[in-house]
Amino acid sequence: MVSELVTEKKTDPNPKISFRRRSSASERAKEIEAINCIVSGKNVLITGGAAGLGYAFLNHFLKHGVNKIIILDIDSEAGERIALCFEKSCGEKKVHFIHADVSNHKRMTVAFEEASSLLGSIDIVINNAGVLDERRWEKEIAGGMINTAMLAMKYMSRDTGGHGGILVNVSQHADIRNTAQLPVYTATKHAVIGLSESLSDPCHYEKTGVSVITLCPGLTETALTVDSPNKLLSRVMKADFVKSLEQFSIQTPYVVAQGLMTILRTGESGSIWVIENGRAPYEIYVPNPQTLRRHYKNNFSHVDTKVVRGRAIREVCDNSRTGLMSCA
């Protein structure tokens, strides 16, 4: 029987072969041209641009003809070295460095003011700087993604004097089954998706003209990944963590940066993009909560006999002392 099956498999007249077609040289040239149209002449600010993914983003923006670019980073030594290096190779003040800790709101407010006067206007913000250190999880929560997002909206929004633009918030690959040893880091990265989804709502976009996109990289070869096994809450978790990391193939920051350029070209406001295993970006969505209800024997049964609806929010608020709905 077993041998029959093997023979059958060998002689299958319609074998299912799946392969990905490589894009032709002319397709690639068209893609580069389309990206250049979006990026060329723009002013960009990247947080955490002195290393890892941020540094790869910087290089790709330069490759696609950006006007000016600011890297904002806590690491002043690396930041200044990079700015100096590009000053020599680009021959002009194309790359600027601003030293700031994204979690310090006061400092970030000043840094954005500085960035705005250096650039004239800010067109694209890559909200990338992030911390992975479960031993000091307060630092992960204070991370500064919200600071950057709020200031980016303020400086790019049409209703506050900006010209509109693109804000990219960097989250992480959304599969929480593989982040058991990183509970706080994972929580902050999921918060980033919530932040993006709220800010990208059409009610904001109409006023601000700012597209908000989420980027979810999979495992990528940077200092953050290399150091991560030593940044867990307890050493006991290390073996399990390393074992779970070993299931994945690790991609280079170059691939993620290349993917980001494609996303900038095609991504709509509110879109969420994954780049993993060194492959091209693909889009995911937040599922409709109505479809998430679990049905199993211990769940509360849902009886539809008499529909008792809650009171309307307007009724509740209008009767309150503050009259919350009076402005609507």
Ligand X SMILES: NC(=O)c1ccc[n+]([C@@H]2O[C@H](COP(=O)([O-])OP(=O)(O)OC[C@H]3O[C@@H](n4cnc5c(N)ncnc54)[C@H](O)[C@@H]3O)[C@@H](O)[C@H]2O)c1
What residues line the site for ligand X (CB under 6 A)?
47-48, 50-54, 73-75, 101-103, 128-131, 144, 170, 172, 217, 219-220, 222-225
For the bound state, the minimum distance from the C-beta of residue 42 to ligand X, rounded and expressed in Å, comes to 21
Q: Which is closer to ligand X, CB of 52 or CB of 270?
A: 52
For the bound state, the minimum distance from the C-beta of residue 316 to ligand X, rounded and expressed in Å, comes to 39
For the bound state, the minimum distance from the C-beta of residue 86 to ligand X, rounded and expressed in Å, comes to 15
Q: Which residue type does 97 have? A: F
DSSP states along 136-174: GHHHHHH-SHHHHHHHHHHHH-GGGT---EEEEEE---S
d(CA 306, CA 300): 16
For the bound state, the minimum distance from the C-beta of residue 208 to ligand X, rounded and expressed in Å, comes to 23
For the bound state, the minimum distance from the C-beta of residue 16 to ligand X, rounded and expressed in Å, comes to 32
Return the sign of the alpha-carbon dihedral for residues 178, 180, 181, 187.
positive
- Are 65 and 36 in contact, with CB atoms under 8 Å apart? yes
d(CA 246, CA 229): 12
Q: Which is closer to ligand X, CB of 75 or CB of 80?
A: 75
Q: Which is closer to ligand X, CB of 34 or CB of 245?
A: 245
> What tokens were used for 318?
């209008």
- Among candidate residues 68, 73, 169, 165, the one with its CA nearest the CA of residue 120: 68
Q: Which is closer to ligand X, CB of 89 or CB of 277?
A: 277
Q: Is 97 left (phi over 0), alpha (psi -120 to 50) or beta?
A: beta
What single-letter DSSP state applies at residue 301? P
Q: Which is closer to ligand X, CB of 159 or CB of 240?
A: 240
Q: Which is closer to ligand X, CB of 208 or CB of 215?
A: 215
- Are 145 and 105 in contact, with CB atoms under 8 Å apart? no
What single-letter DSSP state applies at residue 306? S
Start-to-end Cα distance in the chain: 73
Q: Which is closer to ligand X, CB of 101 or CB of 197?
A: 101
For the bound state, the minimum distance from the C-beta of residue 266 to ligand X, rounded and expressed in Å, comes to 21
For the bound state, the minimum distance from the C-beta of residue 74 to ligand X, rounded and expressed in Å, comes to 4
Instruction: Spell out a b/e string for 69-85, using b for 16 or more CB atoms within 10 Å of the CB, else e.
Output: bbbbbbbeebbeebbee
For the bound state, the minimum distance from the C-beta of residue 253 to ligand X, rounded and expressed in Å, comes to 7
- Among candidate residues 41, 34, 97, the one with its CA nearest the CA of residue 68: 41
Q: Which is closer to ligand X, CB of 36 or CB of 225?
A: 225
